[in-house]
Amino acid sequence: MPLILLTGFPASGKSTRAQQLKEYFSTILEKNVVLLSENEIVKNKHIYSDANKEKELRSTLKSELQRLISQDGILILDAGNYIKGYRYELYCSSKSNKTTQCTLHIDTSSEQAWKQNLKRDENCQYSQENFDALIMRYEAPDGRNRWDAPLFTIQPEDELPFEEIAAALCEKKAPAPNQSTQSLPLTSTNFLYELDCVTQEIVNRVVEAQKTSVIGDEVSIPNSTEKFLLKRRYQLSELSRIRRQFISFAKTHPVDDIPRLAAMFFQYLTSHLV
């Protein structure tokens, strides 16, 4: 089931665009379309005041996506998808199911999105605090990243490029699953050893850097060109817990070189330290 992943600021118009996509693919191309929307799960936007509930929402959406993506037709994911590490996880899911994917960025300004937010019913509105926090945390997609490509960016006044999106999903060959999305036997001791060493080294670097750095400093990540931004003080127990979760995740998404492994853990770490 080809995947269309929507992303954008809160109240940017993602759900409207998702409905337009559903209508096009179901009526014009006569495809079976499934619309998976966070609006069906989130009944009150105050959920974004609670990091744990927000994390549960992402987990629920990902589980539903994995359940639906292997079926025939078009799957549209209508959600913020504002964390690039999370978008990477969704990319791994679609790739492991040998299906195509594209990203649709609804590039509405924060000012216009806020005005649109105020026009909603009260229960569907974001508070000023939650809205500003989501804007600050938003990581815009980049078409140079394989998990965001092909990327379609549209402004509020633009028409959707329906034909181009259809071509990207239906005419192009899905990327073949490789070691980054296929499970390796757990007896692959070299991979497990590298997984343990690389992730522990990154955790140690963050912990040590906090002793001499201040909030706002960037920390170089070992075996990677990424920089870790110190937004607050992080406890070793918190970092270790996320490391254990990533190790479980990485055992089913092995990679074949250390820099990619380090980059995966960096993205996973930053997405779970919201």
SS3 sequence of 115-154: HHHHCCCHHHCCCHHHHHHHHHHCCCCCCCCCCCCCEEEE
Cis-peptide into 10, omega within 30 deg? no
Whether the CA torsion 201, 261, 231, 48 is positive or negative: it is negative
Stretch 171-200: mean pLDDT = 65
Q: Which of 134-148, 169-183, 256-270 has the lowest mean pLDDT?
A: 169-183
Summarised one tens digit per residue, pLDDT across range 234-254 is 999 999 999 998 888 887 776
pLDDT of residue 178: 53
Q: Do the Cβ atoms of 219 and 206 come closer than 8 Å? A: yes
In b/e form, how buried is each residue of 28-65, taking b as 16+ CB within 10 angstroms? Answer: eeebebbbbbbeeebeebebbeeeeebeebbeebbebb
pLDDT of residue 182: 46
pLDDT of residue 248: 84
pTM of structure: 0.67
Domain boundaries, the chain: 3-181, 190-273
pLDDT of residue 180: 45
Mean pLDDT of the residues in the chain: 87
pLDDT of residue 191: 73
pLDDT of residue 183: 45
pLDDT of residue 176: 65
pLDDT of residue 25: 95
Output the six-digit token pair for 172.
């192009």
Closest to 164 in 3D by CA, of 7, 21, 31: 21
Output the six-digit token pair for 133.
């926090």
Q: Which CATH superfamily is domain 3-181 in?
A: P-loop containing nucleotide triphosphate hydrolases (3.40.50.300)
Q: Which amino acid is at 260?
A: R
Output the six-digit token pair for 12.
């940017």
Higher-pLDDT residue of 121 and 155 is 155
Summarised one tens digit per residue, pLDDT across range 38-85 is 988 887 778 888 888 888 898 899 989 988 886 578 999 999 999 988
Rounded to whole angstroms, the Cα distance separating 79 from 92 reads 18
What is the share, in percent, of the chain residues with pLDDT greater than 90?
A: 53
Stretch 26-30: mean pLDDT = 92
